[in-house]
Amino acid sequence: MSSDFSSVLEAEGESWANGSRNAAGLREFYSAVGVGFYGNSETNDGVYQLTYSISNANHTLGSIGSLVGNSLGSMQVGLKEHLERLDEIFSPRGDYTQTLRFMQQMANNIIQQMTAMPDTGKVQVDLAAIADKTSFIEYYRWLTYLLLLILDLVICLIACLGLAKQSRWMLTVIMVCGVLTLIMSWASLGAGTATAVGTSDFCVSPDKFIVNQTKDSLSADIVHYYLYCSQSLPNPFQQSLTIFQRSLTTMQIQVQGLLQFSVAVFPTAEKDLLGIQRILNSSEFSLHQLTALLDCRSLHKDYLEALLGVCYDGVEGLLYLCLFSLLAACAFCALLCAVPRAWTLITIRDRDYDDIDEEDPFNPSRRITPYNPSRAQVHSFCSYSSSMGSQTSLHPPLPATSSTPEYMNQSMLFERSPRYENVPLIGSGSPPPSLYPQTFRNIFAQHEDHLPVYD
């Protein structure tokens, strides 16, 4: 009995120490999960800033293309129609027709300069495709990591419950889910590391990468102008914008002169002259907008914000996610190694409990024998002292005549019966105690060296 008691105490002490180590490991794992949530949020913020900057740049390029297209349309269609009608009206006057030909020459200059503008449509389509694809991938990446983090938390909770209750079926669930999550953690670590390395390579020299990607659609001087936006770099569109402005100014002067001198002679020419004036005013307004949009500061600002989102928040978040995956993988490895040990301790404890004598007073699983009323007919003490009037009608039964002492009969009757736990003893005798204090001191003195010591 003493050896069984010692083995139980040792198993309980080792189980408690193992549980303490597992609790410390779980606390570290919860810290890793917190790092994962932070990294997932940082990566999402960086990618969102990237897509937002790409969308702004795409909107700027779309506005440039729209202004150039509208200017070309008004010069090639609207202005041409008015000049043809005015040429018929002013046919008797050679000086007026000469002015119209000069205006047509200025309009051709504007058309030539607008046609020389780079086609932003292809670049706009590329940026829109990049933004859409990046948003699509980021959404599923964020959702995947979120589900992985939630799964890790659920497994941690099951591990806590399994270690606290020492449940075998919970430990089995931990083993199965732990293996799957361990594989996912290593896979996420590989994917995150590869993405972080690729993104870092891009951030080392992003300008060179963009120049190589846009060399088929844009010239190198235009790309450098928007990438660096330095005062030492000339605006590649400055000459075209200057010719556009001078041609418009010249045409407006010619139209003002025709309105002042020709309307009195040719009243039907006033409508077409006013139409040309409206086209020129609209083109001048578009020219101011185009000049502002073609300035490098707007697109360069979007470029810098995109780089900040990718190379700072994005890479930082990826590194935190890699750290989370590494810590989670190590924690799950430790957990998978601890679960078989916990299983063994539970098996040893159950076997030792089964081997202990049921009559051992130190047995935690000592079974209480249910009360059997057929063993002895014992009347409640309350039935003899319920009231003063009932004493004449109710008499206590005579004690049984037996050679066994009275205190032994009472001890046998009331033994292990919760019903008579607090019933006063009948008579003046009392049963002897089952164990004396000296017995406890002897047992603990024998096993004092085997008891585990806890700090």
| Amino acid in the structure at residue 29 | F
Query: For residue 237, with 0-12 CB atoms within 10 Å meaning exposed, 13-18 middle and 19 or more buried, which class applies?
Result: buried
Residue 248 has what pLDDT? 92
Residue in this structure with the two tokens 């570290």, named with its chain if needed: 28
Residue 157 has what pLDDT? 82
Contact 12, 454 (CB under 8 A): no
Query: Nearest-CA neighbor of 82 among 107, 115, 110?
Result: 107
Radius of gyration of the chain (CA): 47
Series of mean pLDDT values for 10-residue runs along the chain (455 residues): 44 47 62 90 94 92 89 88 89 87 91 84 79 92 93 82 72 81 90 92 90 83 89 88 92 90 87 91 92 91 93 94 90 78 64 51 51 46 42 46 47 47 49 54 61 52
Tokens of 319: 């590194």
Residue in this structure with the two tokens 């409206």, named with its chain if needed: 278
Contact 318, 76 (CB under 8 A): no
Cα angle for residues 282, 287, 293 (degrees, 5° grid) = 130
Query: For residue 168, with 0-12 CB atoms within 10 Å meaning exposed, 13-18 middle and 19 or more buried, which class applies?
Result: middle
Query: In this structure, what DSSP letter does residue 397 have?
Result: P
CA 74 to chain centre: 51
Contact 310, 163 (CB under 8 A): no
Residue 336 has what pLDDT? 78
**What is the enclosing helix (H) or strand (E) of 46?**
helix 2-73
Residue 350 has what pLDDT? 54
Residue in this structure with the two tokens 């935690």, named with its chain if needed: 364
Long-range contacts of 253-257 (CB under 8 A, 24+ apart): 254/99, 254/102, 254/103, 255/103, 255/280, 257/99
Q: 427: which residues sit within 8 A by CB, 6+ positions away?
A: 399, 406, 407, 410
| Amino acid in the structure at residue 69 | G
Q: 281: which residues sit within 8 A by CB, 6+ positions away?
A: none
Query: Nearest-CA neighbor of 353 among 166, 121, 78, 107?
Result: 166
Give the integer Cα–Cα distance in Å for 55 and 299: 11
Tokens of 185: 């953690």
Helix (H), strand (E), coil (C) string for 240-286? HHHHHHHHHHHHHHHHHHHHHHCCCCCCCHHHHHHHHHHHHHHHHHH
Our CA dihedral for 126, 128, 134, 138, rounded to 10 degrees, sits at: 180
Q: How many CB atoms lie within 10 A of CB 452?
A: 12
Give the integer Cα–Cα distance in Å for 406 and 226: 110
Query: In this structure, what DSSP letter does residue 314 have?
Result: I
Give the integer Cα–Cα distance in Å for 103 and 208: 44
Query: Nearest-CA neighbor of 142 among 49, 40, 34?
Result: 40
Contact 355, 77 (CB under 8 A): no
Residue 453 has what pLDDT? 53
Contact 174, 159 (CB under 8 A): yes
Tokens of 406: 């009275």
Residue 121 has what pLDDT? 72
Query: Nearest-CA neighbor of 211 among 199, 195, 228, 194?
Result: 228
Q: What is the largest CA-CA distance in the chain?
A: 159
Q: 138: which residues sit within 8 A by CB, 6+ positions away?
A: 43, 44, 47, 48, 51
Residue 244 has what pLDDT? 92
Residue in this structure with the two tokens 């202990």, named with its chain if needed: 356
Give the integer Cα–Cα distance in Å for 290 and 284: 10
Residue 307 has what pLDDT? 93
Contact 330, 51 (CB under 8 A): no
CA 111 to chain centre: 52
Tokens of 71: 């200017």
Contact 54, 306 (CB under 8 A): yes
Contact 280, 255 (CB under 8 A): yes
